[in-house]
Chain A
Amino acid sequence: MVFSSIIFLFMYLPFVLLIYYIVPRKFRNLFLFIVNLIFYGWGEPIFVLLMLFSTAVDYTHGYFINKYRANKRKAKGFLISSVVINLSLLGFFKYAGFLANTLNVLPFVNLPVLTIPLPIGISFYTFQTMSYSIDVYRGDAPVQKNIITFGTYVALFPQLIAGPIVRYKDVAYQLDHRRETLDQVTHGVKLFMVGLGKKVLIANQMGAMWDAIRETGQANGVLGSWIGIAAYTFQIYFDFSGYSDMACGLGNMFGFEFLKNFNYPYISKTITEFWRRWHISLSTWFREYVYIPLGGNRKGVKRQIFNLLVVWFLTGFWHGAAYNFILWGLYYGIILIIEKFILLKWLEKLPSAIRHIYTLFIVMIGWTLFYFEDMGQLASYLYCMFDFTQGIIGQKALSITISYLPLFIAAALASTPLGAKLYEKIKYNGFVWLPETAYCAVVLILCTASLVNQSYNPFLYFRF
């Protein structure tokens, strides 16, 4: 099930909210555990078993890691076992087909290519369960004795299918001791409405714009091709950050506080800054559970460069089992290394307009790599972005651009903290509830209209 759907907004959510606040506190985790599974199983019921398996395995491993805390070797053995099982699940469901295809290129290799549908959100929840085992092993979080509470964490529906990746230690205390307040729930509703608006009113429209322009191919001209990828740049940000906002908002509605996942990435002046603002929970995860354990920057420059490349290879590969994602990850790895050791000093001296342009240029080329799984299509789109022989902008691309121009500008403005700054100014005014409520009403009504009409409403994370 996805948040931006009629079934979620007008069936699942009302029932879950109602019953959640009716049942006594001690049963709330159990209730969440059950409805999480319904949420997850909707569409692909079979994968509920996978979720239960994941929960049972990691619960058991956590238990033994804790039990053998004194015996380093045994504890480490269980940690390794947990990580291996989690990565095997991910590997089997997400990467088996890709690896088989890759190896089949070699002579005399003929592996069967399994076509297993990818369980939604598997990349998110396997990372979460790994964080549990590691946190418990490191002593960063207490072991969870109650398997229901643990299951509630693993499958917590707000962040189950598209993040943020909530580390166990960040919610360990909340799982058992959260106290929902009306102010928190209200804040959750507001955040949810911001996210829903981003997803349905901006991301979906920018996605339709990108699809329309992309189809025209070469005839778009140089500017047309850049406008196309700009539309995708907006789509992916508003879709993903909208999902994260909805997740945090829903978390609030049930008494949870999740960490911020996006912080206006497109206003960054360097790529280093961009990755501090984009998908923060993923970068944090890789830093904490891969980069630092590998030695980070403590073992010399050569080792640091190696570590960075490993992390960015994995970051890319995490986004999907295809070459272009690896390429995309390494692209960022290399740029970040160049920035770290050479470019940052120079960039600081440049006017900020040029730094913005530099960053957006790199990011947009990045999204081109990210979008096209087919290397031929990727190359031809990149070629169009620099091929001045096809004119500036094609007739069709121009027509599409004019159609979406107001929203395109709105998306550009909404990518900056402008709105947040304005809100900051009126936040403590006694009448702030008026614009807040009006905003929520408009978003609710327009999103309902769009969803009832079954307008273009893609789910971008089925590859994750």
Chain B
Amino acid sequence: MDNTKENKSFFRFAPLVLFVVFIFTFCILFLVMPKSDYSSTEKRKLEQFPKFSAETLFSGEFTENFETYLADQFFGRNFWKGLNSYYNLCIGNNGADRVYNGNDGYLINVPVEEKESRVQSNINTVAKFSKSIDVPVTVEIVPSTGYIMNDKLPLNHFNYNDNVYFNQIIDVCRNNNIEFIDLREAFKQIANDGTQLYYKTDHHWTTGGAYVGYEHLCKKWGITPTNKDSFNIDTYNDFYGTTYSTSGFWFTKPDTIQIWNNPENTEKNITVDIVEGDTQETYHSMYFLNHLEEDDKYPIFLDGNHPVEYITNTNVKSGRLLIIKDSFSHCFAPFTADNFNSVTLVDLRYYKGSVSEIVKEEKFDKVLVLYGIDNFATDTDLAWLK
């Protein structure tokens, strides 16, 4: 207890020095470092210096955006985000930013709460739509990763409500003569046997998972699926998906992503037309390998999100299919191209026109509504279906 000694030591200022050095260093680093437009790890655009005017200042818009700009462009953002996520894990949380940190490197979105669920209104919209057209409608919904891969979830987690949602959908489908493809039991069994149906770092199903969905669809429709063994499978490494990007668990191992090539499909028989606004571009492959260079590799299937896409396979003489879909269809639709001469994909998140008009013009044989359950339960754009 040497009082005088304590008072003389320069070290007593250490907390002050640390504090001053820390806040000034990061202040200066922020000011001098170049700013980036895009975060490839988080897969999102970063906030840029906000527009300054008397109007934006007095409305509070400038100051609010400025604070987001600071956070987005803060020096070492990835480090801080990762640290925050792993710190949350250390103090007993089961994940971060609404993503569970599961076993075996599974990063799984938390369940959609029943309160937030729009399943009932969305399936009602689909039923109403099916009545307005004279083509049979089939609904196929992909169960959530957390529901199927239950054993990969952290011990402490919220319940997945897939059963509630599926029952709501089944009820409406039954009453409206809509075919429904229930993948729950098949997926549970196949997952148990060790097939990877879902990505670990992404919310989508794998190409293998999509193939199971395709098999069940064919069974329902009485058509023959392309044999599993006839595909040439290309596997690509280092795929980091969306749950990885939002969670900040940067030490998670990457996924592999597969393309199942049917050797009979070449640039001679396959055409892909992508409509974006007033422009339409034509390609001769369903796979866009240029996206392999990016962190987000999922757009290798059909080039990712677009309002409307047409796949034409001249090897198949007839059959016209319409898929009303979210991104789960991107790796799925190429399989259906083996059975239909033309497959049209409409994404209601980007397409705001009338779908029944398209149905009238194009004379489809089948209409498929294909969504992942989480999207189907939260989607607000299905309301546009008419």
A residues contacting B by CB (< 8 A) are 5-7, 9-11, 13-15, 17-18, 42-46, 182-183, 185-186, 189-190, 192-193, 205, 215, 395-396, 399, 402-407, 428-430, 432-434, 436-437, 440-441, 444-446, 448-455
Tell me whether A6 and B74 are in contact (CB under 8 A): yes
Residues of A within 8 Å of B24, CB to CB, are 14, 18
B 87-106 contacts with A by CB, 8 A: 87, 91-94, 97
User: What 10 pairs across the A-B complex have the smallest Cβ distances?
Assistant: A452-B80, A449-B84, A186-B16, A449-B83, A406-B92, A437-B14, A453-B84, A433-B11, A14-B27, A449-B80
B22, A444: Cβ atoms closer than 8 Å: yes
* Pair A11/B58 contact, Cβ less than 8 Å: no
A5–B23 CA distance with the chains assembled, in angstroms: 12
Interface-forming stretch among B154-162, B207-215, B281-289? Answer: B154-162
Say whether, besides A42-B63, A440-B15, A448 and B92 are in contact (CB < 8 Å). no
Chain A residues lying within 8 Å of B13, measured Cβ to Cβ, are: 182, 186, 433
Beta-carbon contact of B92 and A402 below 8 Å:
yes
Instruction: Using known A-B contacts A43-B63, A444-B22, determine if residue A399 contacts B157 with beta carbons closer than 8 Å.
Output: yes
Could you tell me the distance in whole angstroms from the C-beta of A410 to the nearest C-beta in chain B?
8
A289 to B384, CA, bound (A): 62
Are B2 and A428 in contact, CB atoms less than 8 angstroms apart? yes
Which residues of the other chain, B, contact A451 by a CB distance below 8 angstroms?
A: 71
B75 to chain A, nearest CB (A): 9
**Whole-angstrom distance between the alpha carbons of A205 and B93 in the complex?**
10
B residues contacting A by CB (< 8 A) are 1-3, 5-6, 9, 11-16, 18-20, 22-24, 26-27, 30, 57-58, 60, 63-64, 66-68, 70-71, 74, 77, 80-81, 83-85, 87, 91-94, 97, 113, 115, 156-159, 248
Q: Which residues of A contact B63 (CB under 8 A)?
A: 42-43
Docked complex Cα distance between A437 and B15 (Å): 5
Q: Which residues of B contact A183 (CB under 8 A)?
A: 12
When C-beta atoms are compared, the residue in chain B nearest to A205 turns out to be B91
Interchain nearest-CB distance for A447 vs B (Å):
10
**CB <8 Å contact, A45 and B80:** no
Q: How distant is A46 from chain B, measured CB to nearest CB, in Å?
A: 6
- Asked if B92 and A405 sit within 8 Å, CB to CB, the answer is yes
How long is the Cα–Cα vector from A452 to B81 in the complex, in angstroms? 7
The answer to whether A402 and B66 have CB atoms under 8 Å apart is no
Tell me if B19 and A440 are in contact (CB < 8 A): yes
30 contacts between A and B (CB under 8 A): A5-B67, A9-B23, A10-B23, A11-B70, A13-B23, A17-B20, A45-B58, A46-B58, A182-B16, A186-B12, A189-B15, A189-B19, A205-B91, A215-B115, A395-B159, A402-B92, A404-B93, A406-B91, A406-B92, A429-B6, A437-B15, A440-B15, A440-B18, A444-B19, A449-B84, A449-B87, A452-B71, A452-B81, A452-B84, A454-B68
If A45-B58, A433-B14 touch, whether A428 touches B67 (CB-CB below 8 Å) is no
Q: When the two chains form their complex, are residues A404 and B92 in contact, meaning their CB atoms are under 8 A apart? A: yes
Which chain A residues lie closer than 8 Å to B58 at the CB level? Answer: 45-46
Chain A residues whose CB sits within 8 angstroms of the CB of B3 once the complex forms: 428
Whether B81 contacts A453 by the Cβ 8 Å rule is yes
Q: Contact between B30 and A399 (Cβ–Cβ < 8 Å)?
A: no
Query: What is the distance, in angstroms, from A35's C-beta to the closest C-beta of chain B?
Result: 15
The residue among B2, B58, B70 with the most chain A CB atoms within 10 A of its own CB is: B70
A10-B26 in contact (CB<8A): yes
Q: How far is the CA of A10 from the CA of B28 in the complex (A)?
A: 9
- Rounded to whole Å, the gap between the CB of A445 and the closest CB of chain B is 7
- Bound complex: CA A330 to CA B360 (Å): 69
The binding surface of chain B is classed by DSSP as helix
Instruction: Name the one of A5, A10, A441 contacting B30, with C-beta atoms under 8 angstroms.
Output: A10
Known: A6-B74, A430-B2, A440-B18. A453 touches B91 (CB 8 A): no
When distances are taken between beta carbons in the complex, the residues of chain B under 8 Å from A395 are: 159
Q: How far is the CB of B251 from chain A (nearest CB, A)?
A: 15
Known: A14-B27, A449-B84, A455-B84. Is A433-B9 also a contact (CB below 8 A)?
A: yes
Check A433–B84 contact: CB distance below 8 A. Answer: no
Closest-CB distance, B191 to chain A (whole angstroms): 23
Tell me which residues across on chain A come within 8 A of B64, comparing CB atoms: 43
Give, as a whole number of angstroms, the nearest-CB distance from A7 to chain B.
5
* A453 near B92: Cβ-Cβ < 8 Å: no
Rounded to whole angstroms, the CA-CA distance of A18 and B24 in the bound complex is 10
Q: Identify A448's interface contact among B2, B26, B97, B248, CB under 8 A.
A: B26
Q: With a CB–CB cut-off of 8 A, which chain B residues contact A430? A: 2, 5-6, 9
How many Å lie between the Cα of A34 and that of B157 in the bound state? 50
* Contact across chains for B92 and A403 when beta carbons are under 8 A apart: yes
CA distance A451 to B22 in the complex (A): 15
State in angstroms the CA–CA spacing of A18 and B26 once bound together: 15
Q: Complex formed: what's the CA distance from A18 to B28 in Å?
A: 13
Whether the Cβ atoms of B156 and A402 lie closer than 8 Å is yes
In the bound complex, CA of A438 to CA of B155 (Å) = 33
CA distance A405 to B58 in the complex (A): 43
B contact residues around A441 at 8 Å (CB): 18
9 additional A-B residue pairs with CB within 8 Å, beyond A11-B27, A437-B18: A6-B70, A6-B71, A190-B15, A399-B157, A436-B15, A440-B15, A448-B80, A449-B80, A455-B84
Q: Once the chains are docked, how many angstroms separate the CA of A223 from the CA of B43?
A: 41
Q: How far, in whole Å, are A390 and B115 apart by their CA atoms in the complex?
A: 19
A396-B236 Cα distance, complex, nearest whole Å = 39
Given contacts A7-B66, A446-B87, contact A399 B158 (CB under 8 A): yes
Contact status B16-A189, CB under 8 Å: yes
User: How far, in angstroms, from A14 to B28 measured CA to CA in the complex?
Assistant: 10
B67 is contacted by which of A7, A396, A446 (Cβ under 8 Å)? A7
Partner of A193, one of B19, B66, B83, B158: B19
Q: In the complex the two chains form, what is the Cα distance from A205 to B15 in whole Å? A: 25
Residues of B within 8 A of A215 (CB): 113, 115
Q: Please indicate the chain A residues that have their CB under 8 angstroms from the CB of B20 in the complex.
A: 17
B1 in contact with A7 (CB, 8 Å): no
In the complex, the answer to whether B15 meets A193 with C-beta atoms within 8 Å is yes
A371 vs B6: C-alpha distance when bound (angstroms):
46
Chain B residues, Cβ within 8 Å of A44:
60
Contact residues in B for A440 (Cβ distance below 8 Å) = 15, 18-19
Q: How far is the CA of A453 from the CA of B3 in the complex (A)?
A: 42
Contacting residue for B27 out of A10, A190, A449, A452, CB 8 A: A10
B29 CB to closest chain A CB (Å) equals: 9
Residues of A near B74 (CB, < 8 A) are: 6, 10, 452
Min Cβ gap B97→A in Å is: 8
Which listed residue, A403, A428, A449, touches B94 by the CB 8 Å rule? A403
Most buried by A among B19, B60, B115, B159: B19
* Contact (Cβ within 8 A) B80 A453: yes
Bound: A453/B20 CA distance, A: 22
- Cα-based distance from A450 to B81 in the complex (angstroms): 8
Query: Complex: how many Å from CA A455 to CA B92?
Result: 17
Bound form: Cα–Cα A5–B81 in Å: 15
B260: shortest Cβ distance to chain A, in Å? 38
In the complex the two chains form, is A45's CB within 8 Å of B156's CB? no
**Shortest Cβ distance from B159 into A: residue:** A395
